[in-house]
C-alpha cells in the first residue's frame, strides 16, 4: 500500500507467513519513503521489523537510479 504526492511517496509493506505449518507464524512490517530528485532518480528509505529472526530490524537508505519510463499505464 502506498500514497503518492507529487515528488513524495509513502508506503507500508506487511507480509505474513507460516514455515511448513510448524512453529509460530511470522510477519514482516516495513514503512517505505521515496522522494523523486529528478527523472528516474529517487532517494529512498525503509524501516521496520523483519520476521522472527535474531536482529530482525530492517533499515535501508539509498538512491534508486533507473532507465526508462516512470509509470506504466494499464489498458482499460
Domain ranges of the chain: 2-65
pLDDT score, position 64 = 81
Q: What angle do CA 55, 64, 69 make, to 5 degrees?
A: 140
Distance CA 38, CA 10 (A): 17
For 14-35, what is the mean pLDDT?
Answer: 81
Q: Model's pTM, two decimal places?
A: 0.67
Q: How confident is the model at residue 70 (pLDDT cuts 50, 70, 90)?
A: low
Distance CA 22, CA 10 (A): 34
Kindly list the distances between the CA atom of residue 35 and the CA atoms of 5, 27, 38, in Å, as whole numbers in the listed order: 10, 27, 9
Q: Is 46 a residue whose pLDDT tops 80?
A: yes
For 9-31, what is the mean pLDDT?
Answer: 82
Amino acid at each position: 500500500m502506498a500514497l503518492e504526492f507529487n515528488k513524495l511517496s509513502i508506503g507500508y509493506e506487511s507480509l505474513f507467513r507460516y514455515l511448513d505449518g510448524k512453529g509460530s507464524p511470522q510477519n514482516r512490517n516495513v514503512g517505505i519513503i521515496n522522494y523523486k530528485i529528478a527523472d528516474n532518480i529517487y532517494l529512498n528509505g525503509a524501516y521496520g521489523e523483519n520476521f522472527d529472526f535474531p536482529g530482525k530490524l530492517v533499515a535501508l537508505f539509498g538512491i534508486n537510479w533507473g532507465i526508462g519510463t516512470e509509470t506504466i499505464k494499464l489498458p482499460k
